[in-house]
Structure 1
Amino acid sequence: MSANVLLIEHPAPHVVLLRINRPEALNALNAEVREAINTTLPRLDADPEVRCVVLAGSEKSFAAGADIKERAGMSAVDVMKMSTTRGIAAFSKPIIAAVNGFALGGGCEYALQCDIVLANDRARFGQPEIKLGLVPGAGGTQRLPRVVGKHNALYMVLTGAMVSARDALRMGLVCEVVEGNCDARAIELATQIAAMAPLTAKLIKEAVNSGADMALDAALRLETRAHQLAFATEDVREGIAAFIEKRQADFTGH
């Protein structure tokens, strides 16, 4: 595996920035990129010093889908044997997508797996697989409707059309649109999240993700258990004390 397809940066305390680095291919997601993400994120998940991750690409492209040249001539069996990228969705800590430029196909689906999606004003999102006779394979038919609704999702996956950052914001695919490069804003937001209680952040993420497909009563019980469990942490005591003493809390992740 090339060491350069995924750059690892440490832009702020407890924050890691992962940068997909195949600019010559608009950051197309080949096997090396998928393997790098699948091996790097579990390591960061196990590192107590890491509290939030930003996933980014280049100025021109977050990720322009799968590497189609790599897929040419593949059989169904070959595709079944391929490594998929589940590392993003399985990551237990907050992860932010910083989308500059194109987020197409797998790139859009990678952003969908993140917890917060920021985009610059030139970003373009799309699921163009149908133009190649393909079905989206990393969440385009499942995560996308859950985020933007059935009709918006079918519009995207049946036409293969790209949508602007502003339209993506309107659909709920994007949380915030930033003029120019959005990396700095993503790092700012990650730094803010990293200053919070990290165990609580994991509990919140788990409750939101697990409860999404539950009946409301069951999901509310899940939330109640997460709320109760947080009281087992030292960080809750620190947060309450800091509030009473009118000072900044110093969360340690215990």
Structure 2
Amino acid sequence: MNNIDSTSVISEVRNRVLYLALNRPSKLNALNRAVFDRLMEIIEPLERHQAIGCIVLGSTSDHFCAGADISMLASRNAEALRCDDMFAEWQAFADLKVPKIAAVKGCALGGGCELAMMCDIIYAREEAVFGQPEVKLGLIPGMGGTQRLTRRVGRAKAMELILTGRTISAHQACDMGLVSRVFTADFDDQVRAQAELIASYGGVATRAAVEAIGRAEQTSLAEGLLFERRVYHGLWNTDDCQEGLQAFIDKRPAKVVNR
């Protein structure tokens, strides 16, 4: 990752929350290699320690992300895209077990909607819009849209959204199950409060929860239940669990032990 553009994504840590902001306002925060490289530079160390309890991915402008940077892709041919396995590298962001919140303002279209779906929770400001309009370019979603959208909203809704390319409002997205909550006022403060709440809990447990819920989309119910029980059993030996149990008995707030 040489010559990484450190301005393409702005980062800040407050109260165990890592705030990431896409910063290409003139391009509506369209995704390119510079954005991916900068994100990876920031998040790669996070799996190795517990100092960060939650990640919030937002933007510095009034739009979350308009999708992949078409000007970057237009000159590529199909063979080059296949050889590079275009977009496969984004799975590293999706696989990060630190709880991730997408804070969506304005548009989250195409790759922007797919990037939001790589997060564990999507919060939207009231005027936000979502969509997978790739069909209008003679394409289909390529960063996981056909798979993640189907799992979030069901086959019927995913088919209609992808085949028509239409956009939906934040409230429609919430009703479908794509968005967790819509905040009509004080958006940044509301997102910050939720992120700090998640970060206030032990990182071992929250990361385990992210992994266990992810299993629900990948395995049978029987296998998922077995995985959940094994993780639950293992958590009893952690310092966070012992502190949490003792705090409950003592009727006091638990301290985050595992940092």
Q: TM-score range by the shorter chain?
A: over 0.9
> Is structure 2 residue 6 aligned with structure 1 residue 3?
yes
Other-structure match for 1:67: 69
* Structure 2 unmatched runs, 5+: none
Alignment of 1:234-249 (within 5 A): 234-249=239-254
Alignment-mate amino acid for residue 23 of structure 1: P
Distance 2:50 2:218 in 1: 29
Other-structure match for 1:134: 139
Write out per-residue CA displacement over residues 149-172 of structure 1, whole angstroms, 9 at most, x where no aligned residue.
Answer: 011111111111110000000000
Distance 2:209 2:143 in 1: 24
8 Å CA contact 1:41–1:87 kept in 2: the answer is: no
Distance 1:189 1:159 in 2: 34
Distance 2:170 2:61 in 1: 15
Alignment-mate amino acid for residue 75 of structure 2: G
Other-structure match for 2:17: 15
8 Å CA contact 1:38–1:85 kept in 2: the answer is: no
Q: Choose from 208, 211, 214 the match for 1:206.
A: 211
> Is structure 2 residue 218 aligned with structure 1 residue 219?
no
> Is structure 2 residue 102 aligned with structure 1 residue 97?
yes
Percent of aligned pairs with the same amino acid: 38
Distance 2:46 2:187 in 1: 23
How far did 1:228 drift? Answer: 0.1
Other-structure match for 1:171: 176
Moved more, 228-237 or 211-220: 211-220
Aligned residue pair count: 253
Distance 1:7 1:17 in 2: 8
Moved more, 80-89 or 183-192: 80-89
Other-structure match for 1:42: 44
3-state SS of 2:139 partner: coil
How far did 1:180 drift? Answer: 4.3
Alignment-mate amino acid for residue 63 of structure 1: C
Q: TM-score scaled to structure 2, two decimals?
A: 0.94
> Is structure 2 residue 258 aligned with structure 1 residue 253?
yes
8 Å CA contact 1:20–1:27 kept in 2: the answer is: yes
Alignment-mate amino acid for residue 27 of structure 2: A
Distance 1:8 1:45 in 2: 17
* Structure 1 unmatched runs, 5+: none
How far did 1:46 drift? Answer: 2.6
Alignment-mate amino acid for residue 5 of structure 1: S
Write out per-residue CA displacement over residues 8-27 of structure 1, whole angstroms, 9 at most, x where no aligned residue.
Answer: 012x3111100000001100
